[in-house]
Structures are given as C-alpha cells and as structure tokens.
C-alpha cells in the first residue's frame, strides 16, 4: 500500500501567503519562502503553491516566487495559477516545480489536459477542482471560486482523468477554512469512481480530520493550510497520531 501524503498549501496573493474562509476574507499568513522551508523541514510530504489571483487577473504565476520556494525545499512541489499552455508548464518546471496544477484553463479548454499530459506525462499534471454543494449538486467554480460553471464535480473529475490528469485536487468551497473537517462523503465518491489519486482539501481543523479523510474519505492525500500556518497543529504531531491509528504515513 502506498503511504498516505500530507500536503501543505501556500495560497499566494501579492507575494504573501494568505488564508481565508470559503474562498473569501483573506488574511496574511506569512512569508512564502519561510513557510515553505519550515514545512519542508517539519516533514510535509509535498507542497502546493497556488497563485490564487493569477487566473482572475489574467496573468501568469510569478516565476521568481516559484524559483525561491524551489530553492528552499527538498520535497515535491506543485505550482498552480494562471497556467494555460505547454510553455507555461515548461517555464515552471525549469524554475523547480515538480508538478503543475491546472483549474480554470482546463475547464475553459479541456483539451489542455490532453496536451499537457502528452508533453510532460500525466504524473506531472494535477487537475484542481473547486466545488460547492448547491441544491444537492456539487457545482464547479473557476477564477478562484468567483465564477460558477455548468460543470458538476464527479463528471468533470472523470473527464479530467480520461484526458490524462495524474491526480485530482478537490477543494470543498463549503469546508474551506472552516476547521470543521473535510467533505469526506464527496471525497470517498471521487476515490471510488476514479483510478488516479485524490487529494482532499478544505476543512482541516484537528488531527481526527486527517484520519477521517484517509479512512472515511479514502483519500490518497490530505491538503491543509491555515491549521498549520497559525500553529493550531504541527506536522510531526499529526503524523505520529496517524501512525498510532495505523495509517500508513511517512514519519
């Protein structure tokens, strides 16, 4: 069995790490590079760096930020934000990224997934999906949660997989920043319907939430941000807890 992964997320705006609730009310959480190095040193399995306003502002991810973070860490590093072409991906990989996360551009032009998977290998392509449950349906949003689409979570995830996505990063907009736990029911359905890894995101507040993501949600990885940014939890403590509950995790 592959070890479960704990992934730390850096949401970046104007050169600073930020964290909000339900994709709004953003608050400063610290320096990008300092946090990245800290999490790498503390035992995070991976980092995800999301330039959260790049698509909305119709610009590319700032390469200097990516390069600085890549130099500070020694764990796999995924970058997302404003990626819309194979050149964008090539530039990010050249600056030290190991994988890329695509969201808005993939929904606008789904064939982008095919192109990137062919050029760089599906192991390099993470498709991020931001969704909110409304009237019983999980509706997909783009532009950092600002714009609702006609897509539905599960059908879009399956299409993304069929086009070459190597992983799905699902963030529940309803759970984001609430510290009330992950959307385990939806994560479990994704895990059951897909053959590629599913990363659960949105809602981590206590150690038990990670356990639930891996057991109830059947997730391959759990992503968190604010609960670690503000010192509520520490990575080594969560990993020891999971190990004590017989979750296969790298200590």
Tens digits of per-residue pLDDT, 179-208? Answer: 999 999 999 999 999 999 999 999 999 999
Task: Give the phi and the psi of residue 91 in degrees, each rounded to 5.
Answer: -65, -40
Name which of 239, 229, 251 is nearest 39 in CA terms. Answer: 229
- Per-residue pLDDT of 72-99, as tens digits, reads 999 999 999 889 999 999 999 999 999 9
Marked catalytic residue, from 88, 130, 176, 220: 130
Distance, in Å, from the CA atom of 157 to the CA atom of 126, rounded to the nearest integer, reads 11
Residue 176 annotated to the active site: no
Say whether 208 sits in a helix, a strand or coil.
Answer: helix
Task: Give me the residue spans of the domains in the chain.
Answer: 5-244
The alpha carbon of residue 78 and the mean position of all alpha carbons in its chain are separated, in whole angstroms, by: 8
- Per-residue pLDDT of 60-77, as tens digits, reads 557 888 899 999 999 999
**Length of the chain (residues):** 251
Please tell me the CATH code under which domain 5-244 is placed. 3.20.20.70
Do residues 161 and 122 touch, judged by C-beta distance below 8 A? Answer: no
Alpha-carbon distances, residue 137 vs 131, 132, 170, 186 (angstroms): 9, 8, 15, 11
Beta partners for residue 147, in sequence order: 142
Q: What mean pLDDT comes out for the span 153-173?
A: 98
The answer on pLDDT for 20 being more than 60 is no
Strands (DSSP E) found in the chain: 5-13, 16-21, 24-31, 46-51, 77-80, 99-102, 125-134, 137-142, 147-152, 167-172, 198-201, 221-224
| % of the chain surpassing 90 pLDDT | 73
pTM of the model as a whole: 0.91
The answer on pLDDT for 122 being more than 90 is yes
User: Of all residues in the chain, what percent are helix, strand and coil, respectively (each to 5)?
Assistant: 35, 30, 35
Residue 130 annotated to the active site: yes
* pLDDT at residue 21 in the model: 57
């Amino acid at each position: 069995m592959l070890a479960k992964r704990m992934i730390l997320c850096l949401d970046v705006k104007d050169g600073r790490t930020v964290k909000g609730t339900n994709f709004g009310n953003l608050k400063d959480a610290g320096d990008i590079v300092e946090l990245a190095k800290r999490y790498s040193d503390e035992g995070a399995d991976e980092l995800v760096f999301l330039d959260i306003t790049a698509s909305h502002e119709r610009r590319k991810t700032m390469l200097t930020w990516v390069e600085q973070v890549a130099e500070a860490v020694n764990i796999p590093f995924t970058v997302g934000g404003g990626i819309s072409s194979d050149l964008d991906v090539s530039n990010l990989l050249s600056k030290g990224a190991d994988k890329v996360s695509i969201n808005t551009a993939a929904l606008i032009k789904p064939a982008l997934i095919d192109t990137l998977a062919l050029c760089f290998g599906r192991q390099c392509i993470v498709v991020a999906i931001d969704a909110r449950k409304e009237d019983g349906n999980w509706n997909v949003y783009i532009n950092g949660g600002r714009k609702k689409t006609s897509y539905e979570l599960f059908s879009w995830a399956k299409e993304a997989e069929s086009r070459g996505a190597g992983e799905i990063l699902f963030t529940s907009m309803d759970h984001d920043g609430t510290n009330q736990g992950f959307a385990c029911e939806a994560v479990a359905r994704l895990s059951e319907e897909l053959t590629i890894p599913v990363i659960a995101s949105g809602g981590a507040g206590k150690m038990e939430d990670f356990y639930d993501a891996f057991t109830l949600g059947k997730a391959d990885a759990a992503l968190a941000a604010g609960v670690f940014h503000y010192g509520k939890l520490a990575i080594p403590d969560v990993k020891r807890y999971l190990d004590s509950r017989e979750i296969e995790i790298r200590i």
